[in-house]
Every structure is written in structure tokens, then in C-alpha cells.
Amino acid sequence: MSWAFLRDVLSGVNKYSTGIGRIWVAVVFMFRLLVYVAAAENIWKHEHDEFQCNIKQPGCENVCFDHFFPVSHIRLWALQLIMVSTPSLLVVFHVAYRESREKHHSQKLYTNPRKTDGGLLCTYLISLILKTGLEIVFLVLFYKLYNGFKIPRLVKCDIKPCPNTVDCYISKPTEKMIFLYFLVATSCLCIVLNLSELSYLIFKYSIKCYLKRLVKKQQ
């Protein structure tokens, strides 16, 4: 089980997406997943070993690291990637449900079980709203947990067993900050893509409904 599983899941979702949805999948693959695996993971690899405090008191470094990094940036990033990709599975399940229903009744119940209309459209819209919501939740979480998107070089720690206020130095703060900004930028891009896809679909189907009503009235 690795990131290849997520890649396969997203490739499956791609079939039922609109054009904007496919761009979203491409952005998630290239600029988030690939950057995470190829570059970001290695920056945070030895973050605990390289976190150094100006003290010899045993336990002080551990306690200070735990206080300043309740959940490491890289773990939050991984969780965000997983959570944000999961709502697309709702669409896959709905299509599978439609197809199994047709098989069960051995007759054609839908004009095309894979076309986004009716119930499948609702599922697709819900998945878009969930994706956007989760992206925003994680961005807010990052902001609240780490007081903005800055990573300082030095943090001052005075938790027991540290005797007094102790200087602790974070490793590679600039590099971590650059990748954190990259993460935020790609999240915002994905939010924009999701919102434009949402508005496009709502607009398209409201025009369709309106034209249908107009035709009915004329008849």
C-alpha cells in the first residue's frame, strides 16, 4: 500500500470527470503528489534528530519538539492529500451502484449509467463541495497549529524538564517554508478549480432546465 494506490484511484475517477476535473487530477498528481514524494518527504525526514536545543538536560529536546510540532507538517500534508482525493470515490461508487442495479434488473434503467445527470450529478456536486471544504479545513488547521505559514529558525521553550527558557533550533526552516508556501499555493489552485467546476456545472444544468421548461411551455 503506497501512493500508487491513490494514483490508481484518481485515474479511475478521471473517466467520469469534466474537463476542469481532469485538470484538477493533473494538478494533484504533478504538483502535489509527485512533489511530496520526490522532494518534500526528504526535507522532513530527520526533523526530530536535527532539532537541537541549547541544553544538556535529558528529555528537554523531546518535550520541546513535541510542544512545537504536535503533528508534523509532512504528516498533515499526507493526510490532506488522502482526504482531498477521497470524495471522488463517491462518484465511482454511485456509477458502480447504477451498473449493478441495471445488471440486477437485467434491463436498461439509465440512458447511460456513466453520464452525469440526475442523481449522479448530485453526487458529483457533493463530492466537489466536500473536496473544497476539506481543502479549506486543512489550510485553516495549518494556519492555526503553526501560527501562520512561517517556520522560525529559533523557538524558545520553557516546559518541564527544561530548567529555564531554552533556545531550540529548527533544521532547514527556509526550505521547509518554501515547500509550505508551495503546498498552500497548490491547495488554493485546487480550491479555485473546484469552485469553477461547481459553478460551471450548476450554470450548465440550470440553463438546460430552463430551456426544457421553455420548450414545454411553448408546446
Nearer to another protein, 13 or 53 (CB): 53
H or E stretch covering 106: none
Binding residues for another protein, how many (CB under 8 A)? 38
Q: Which is it for the CA torsion 69, 74, 76, 77, positive or negative?
A: positive
**Spatial distance between the Cα atoms of 144 and 165, rounded to a whole number of angstroms:** 24
Q: Are 63 and 161 in contact (CB under 8 A)?
A: yes
Mapped onto helix, strand or coil, the DSSP state of residue 63 is helix
Nearer to another protein, 164 or 219 (CB): 164
Q: Which of 17, 21, 44, 53 binds another protein (CB under 8 A)?
A: 53
**How near is the Cβ of 117 to another protein at its closest, in Å?**
17
Q: Which of 20, 55, 78, 125 binds another protein (CB under 8 A)?
A: 55
Mapped onto helix, strand or coil, the DSSP state of residue 47 is coil
Read off the C-alpha cell for 165: 527558557
Cis before 161? omega within 30:
yes
Nearer to another protein, 4 or 215 (CB): 4
Nearer to another protein, 156 or 212 (CB): 156
**How near is the Cβ of 60 to another protein at its closest, in Å?**
11
Read off the C-alpha cell for 138: 486543512
The greatest distance separating any two alpha carbons of the chain, rounded to the nearest whole angstrom, comes to 87
**How near is the Cβ of 159 to another protein at its closest, in Å?**
17
What residues have CB less than 8 Å from 148, skipping those under 6 apart? Answer: none
Stretch near another protein under the rule CB under 8 A, chosen from 1-9, 102-110, 128-136, 185-193: 1-9
**How near is the Cβ of 92 to another protein at its closest, in Å?**
19
Assess 30 for contact with another protein (CB under 8 A). yes
Stretch near another protein under the rule CB under 8 A, chosen from 66-74, 106-114, 115-123, 175-183: 175-183
